[in-house]
Amino acid sequence: MSFDIPHSIEPAVKRYARAQRISEDEAIVRLIRKGLEDVEPNAIEAGLGLFGSPEDAAALDAAVTIAYEERHQPSNRATSI
């Protein structure tokens, strides 16, 4: 793959490469990877977490919600003094 670097960002790429003591090609690759990190959802945002599918994550969410609601219901025991 090849591409042309816009002249408007070429000085910034060169400064970054010098500051990191890497080649300009490596600087471009690192900057692209960093940009992709910002746009690709992580596992939690994708709803996967420890599970393999969004459906598994939804089932866990439902179970946690039910358990939370049961835990925070008022006690049916009579209080005695």
- 1 to 4, 9, 29, 41, 76: CA distances (angstroms): 11, 19, 12, 25, 68
> How do residues 50-80 score in pLDDT, each as one tens digit?
666 677 767 777 887 888 777 777 766 655 5
Residues 59, 36: contact at Cβ < 8 Å? no
Range of the domain at 62: 43-73
In single-letter form, the type of residue at position 52 comes to: G
Query: Which of the two residues, 33 and 46, has the higher pLDDT score?
Result: 33
Would residue 78 count as lying in a domain? no
Q: Does the pLDDT value for residue 40 go beyond 70?
A: no
pLDDT of 23 reads: 93
Q: Would 4 be classed as within a structural domain?
A: no
- Report if residue 68 sits inside a domain: yes
Strands of the chain (E only): list them. none
Q: Using pLDDT thresholds of 50, 70 and 90, give the confidence band for residue 43.
A: low
Task: Indicate if the pLDDT at residue 48 is higher than 60.
Answer: no
Mean pLDDT of the 45-52 span:
60
* Shared-domain flag, residues 29 and 50: no
